[in-house]
Amino acid sequence: MYVAGKVPSQTAKAQRLSIDSFLAQVKKYAVIKEPDAEIIRILVERIDVFKTEKVPDTRTKNRPSS
């Protein structure tokens, strides 16, 4: 977020570039009837999958330690 008189942080700049890059790729493929492997590789940076853990009457996900 830009505030008058302040310089955006490097993280904010990197995030903005990432968003802009994603939107540019989406616009290239705006009329996709069915995504194929190439389109998914371009649009998806990573997918995190977690093993579910059964807790009585609920369903929770184990998070990997960072």
Q: pLDDT tens across 9-44, in order?
A: 778 888 888 888 888 888 877 777 888 898 888 888
Cα→Cα distances 19→1, 42, 51, Å = 13, 13, 29
Residue 15: domain span: 8-43
What pLDDT sits at residue 47?
85
15 part of a folded domain: yes
What pLDDT sits at residue 44?
85
Residue 3 has pLDDT above 80, yes or no: no
Give, rounded to a whole angstrom, the gap between the first and last alpha carbons of the chain. 27
Q: Classify strands 58-61 and 52-55 as parallel, antiparallel or unpaired.
A: antiparallel
33 part of a folded domain: yes
55 part of a folded domain: no
Residue 4 has pLDDT above 60, yes or no: no
22 part of a folded domain: yes
13 part of a folded domain: yes
- Domain count across the chain: 1
Cα→Cα distances 54→15, 18, 24, 35, 49, Å = 35, 36, 41, 33, 16
Q: Which residues pair with 58 in a beta bridge?
A: 55
